[in-house]
Amino acid sequence: MILPLALAQFIASYAATNMNVAISTIAKDLGTTVIGVQTTITLFTLTMASLMIPGSKLTDIWGRKRCLLAGLGVYGIGALLAALAQGLGLMIFGYSLLEGIGSALMIPPIYILITVAFADVESRARYFGIVSGAGGLGAAAGPLIGGLITSAISWRVSFFVQVLVVAWILMLARRIADPLRQGPRPRFDLVGAVLSAAGLFFVVFGILQSGTYGWFVARKDFSIAGTVVLPKGGVSPVWLFVAIGALILVWFLLHIRSRERAGKDPLVSIRLFRNRISNLGLATQTIQWLTLQGSFFVLSVFLQQVRGFNAIQTGLMLTPATIGILASSAAAQRLAERHSQRTLIRTGFVTTTVGMALLLALVRDTSGVFSFVPGLLLMGLGVGTMLTASVNLVQSSFPEADQGDISGISRGASNLGSSLGTALAGSVLVAASFPGGRPFALALVTLGVIALIGLVAAVLIPREPAREAARTT
């Protein structure tokens, strides 16, 4: 059961990072621009993030296994079309839309199936650790594998490999046992799905614009249909999009509350947002992915721009972090048997922050490659420890009937954190005016401060989450 779930998480995480090292090559082959390919990657992130909650709800309507298989099928078709694309249009349709939709359908069932199959926290920790490790490995190894395939053969082969892996997963997934859901199947809340997708779309899209326009003051004119809406030097359009998204999400919350009061099935129950343990777990989960993706982005840019490394060398340099994530994920069950999820999350944030501090203390423009190892290894160990614990904490805070809803919210928080991490790190690098490696140090310090905020959220988690969750639910 676990192998196909871990492989599905691996391939979805791999798809989010492997194209970054082949942007210029893809643009040349498709007769488009680098901006066009970057837009394609951005649209994939937006599609996946905005549809995660509706996709999760479909697990209650179609069934978890059926939703997983449907997501894999859509994803595989998208990867095949992307591999065969001769222009940007088909690439966007295959990669951005179909792979994004497929990811939104197949990722939530991964965590729901583990939650309902294993009743005790320790067993869940073990298998969440395997899946989280596979996700971390996919994200970390994406640039390395993508760089190797692109350099040795062609970027198209990377998509063909995804097709083959998805076909293998589909064969393995047929053996997965999906316990029958108790009670009647809910009706799909179409209005709620549109509102949640639109709200998350504008929030994530706004965050991603920070690299172009800056966070606070617009670096250039923001125009719509040739009309300047926000001039250079004015308020950044980031906040325009985020405000639109926030208003739509408020509308979404009012809608699901009204629908629930009328006795109808909402997209998600409003009471899920009243669970203190889950809310703090979601906060730590968002910050963890923010820290992970933001740090990887900063280090990748530093290694390529300052040290002159190519994509393959950059991927190899990040290997200690990958090893740390895999090691801590493999030990998840043993750690869960000895320590509470709250303690593991706190320890993970402390370890990650120490690792970032070691990078700042040891790494210089001309320092040896081994100066990266202690910091990256500790970061990987810390992230792997707390990622598994946070997922376990959030999913275990609710009974089986709520797993479809909370899984979508949880995966949405992770995607939001990933988008925010890359956007925040990129905007700091662009905005910093210091010479040499200082912009990278400033970006890493910023991420370290955010990790400390995550530690504060972890400290606020109650000491006995299982008992409090039982009272809440």
DSSP output for 258-299: HHHHTTPPPSS-GGGGG-HHHHHHHHHHHHHHHHHHHHHHHH
Q: Measured between alpha carbons, how far is 231 from 358 in angstroms, rounded to an integer?
A: 41
Helix (H, G, I), strand (E, B) or coil at 361: helix
| pLDDT number for residue 430 | 64
DSSP 226-239: TEEEE-TTSB-HHH
Copy the structure tokens of residue 146. 């993508």
| pLDDT number for residue 183 | 66
Domain boundaries defined on the chain: 2-188+267-472, 189-266
CA distances from 141 to 24, 133, 149 (A): 19, 12, 12
The rounded average pLDDT for each run of 10 residues, N- to C-terminus, in the chain (473 residues) is 88 80 80 79 82 87 89 95 92 93 90 81 80 78 78 87 94 82 78 90 82 79 80 85 93 91 86 88 91 83 77 78 84 83 92 93 83 92 87 84 81 80 73 57 88 92 56 41
Helix (H, G, I), strand (E, B) or coil at 214: coil
Q: Which candidate, 327, 440, 387, 407, places its Cα nearest to that of 56?
A: 407
Do residues 377 and 318 touch, judged by C-beta distance below 8 A? no
Q: Measured between alpha carbons, how far is 346 from 350 in angstroms, rounded to an integer?
A: 6
What is the separation, in whole angstroms, between the first and last Cα of the chain? 28
Q: Measured between alpha carbons, how far is 324 from 377 in angstroms, rounded to an integer?
A: 5
Check if CATH label 3.40.50.1370 holds for domain 2-188+267-472.
no
Alpha helices by DSSP H, listed for 262-402, are 276-305, 311-317, 319-330, 332-338, 341-362, 373-395
CA distances from 170 to 56, 78, 166, 292, 398 (A): 19, 15, 6, 29, 29
